[in-house]
């Protein structure tokens, strides 16, 4: 399972690597998929599904901390038919993509919420807006410029048309950027898994599951063997 998530080989290649048939590799994958899904929550909110009586208490605790949110895109196979393609086309990436969003709490060192499988044309702020009902109405968030417009969010100041930002505005933007770096590095840490980088080859629902499993594994192990992720590893341990 971990080899699959990390390197994203085909089942044929996976079978060759472990000297088993392609069908056996697929069956083992399905077995571990169900096992991981039942026992490893990808986020704090997913974990609380089994403890509904704790949800309101956790929401109250979270408003004492500012949560950091960011989204990432990865390519998907182009859907058949022009109308089916439009929702997945990302103007930013200039290709068909699927979006994932991660919300973390640096103070308690937790992935609080994960959203996967959103269409590439949907804006980051729209994705977050759909999740706000899960949080206390007074919950504060920190995001990048893509989240501008949501009153619960603190975002950098955009450069006004026809003029430059003031020195104070630039300094504030730099300060906010330094605080957001944790979630940006977390996404980089997750992208150590090639399943978070390459096109989904399986059906849509399974591809979404793969992203969740990468989150679950990083949430539980909190380690990395990549130099660029050392900052997050030290922060989480």
Which residues, 6+ apart, have CB-to-CB distance to 181 below 8 Å? 231
CA distance linking residue 210 with residue 11, whole number of Å: 14
CA angle 186, 188, 191 (to 5 degrees): 115
**The predicted structure's pLDDT at residue 223:** 43
**The predicted structure's pLDDT at residue 66:** 92
Question: Which DSSP letter does residue 197 get?
Answer: T
Residue-wise pLDDT for 140-177, tens only, equals 999 998 898 778 889 998 888 888 989 999 999 999 99
Residue-wise pLDDT for 122-144, tens only, equals 999 999 999 999 999 999 999 99
Per-residue pLDDT of the chain (237 residues; tens, 9 = 90+): 778 877 888 888 888 988 899 999 889 888 887 777 666 677 888 888 878 888 889 999 999 999 999 998 888 888 788 888 888 888 888 888 889 899 999 888 888 998 888 888 899 999 999 999 999 999 999 999 889 877 888 999 888 888 898 999 999 999 999 988 888 888 887 777 777 776 766 555 544 545 555 555 555 555 444 443 443 334 333
CA distance linking residue 64 with residue 106, whole number of Å: 12
| Residue for token pair 């909110």 | 45
CA distance linking residue 171 with residue 224, whole number of Å: 32
Read off the pTM: 0.77
**The predicted structure's pLDDT at residue 65:** 93
């Amino acid at each position: 399972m971990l080899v699959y998530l990390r390197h994203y080989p085909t089942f044929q290649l996976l079978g060759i690597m472990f000297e088993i048939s392609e069908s056996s590799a697929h069956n083992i994958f399905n077995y571990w998929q169900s096992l991981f899904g039942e026992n490893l929550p990808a986020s704090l909110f997913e974990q609380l599904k089994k403890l509904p009586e704790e949800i309101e208490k956790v929401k109250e605790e979270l408003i004492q901390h500012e949560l950091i949110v960011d989204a990432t895109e990865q390519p998907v196979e182009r859907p058949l038919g022009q109308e089916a393609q439009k929702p997945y086309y990302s103007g930013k990436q200039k290709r068909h993509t699927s979006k994932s969003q991660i919300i973390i709490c640096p103070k308690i060192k937790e992935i609080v919420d994960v959203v996967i499988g959103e269409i590439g044309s949907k804006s980051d702020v729209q994705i977050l807006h759909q999740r706000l009902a899960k949080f206390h109405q007074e919950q504060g968030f920190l995001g990048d410029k893509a989240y501008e417009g949501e009153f619960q969010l603190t975002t950098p100041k955009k450069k006004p048309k026809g003029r430059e930002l003031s020195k104070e505005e630039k300094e504030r933007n730099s300060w906010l950027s330094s605080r957001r770096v944790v979630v940006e590095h977390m996404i980089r840490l997750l992208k150590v898994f090639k399943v978070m980088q390459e096109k989904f080859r399986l059906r849509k629902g399974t591809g979404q599951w793969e992203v969740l499993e990468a989150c679950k594994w990083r949430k539980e192990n909190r380690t990395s063997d990549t130099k660029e992720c050392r900052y997050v590893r030290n922060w989480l341990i």
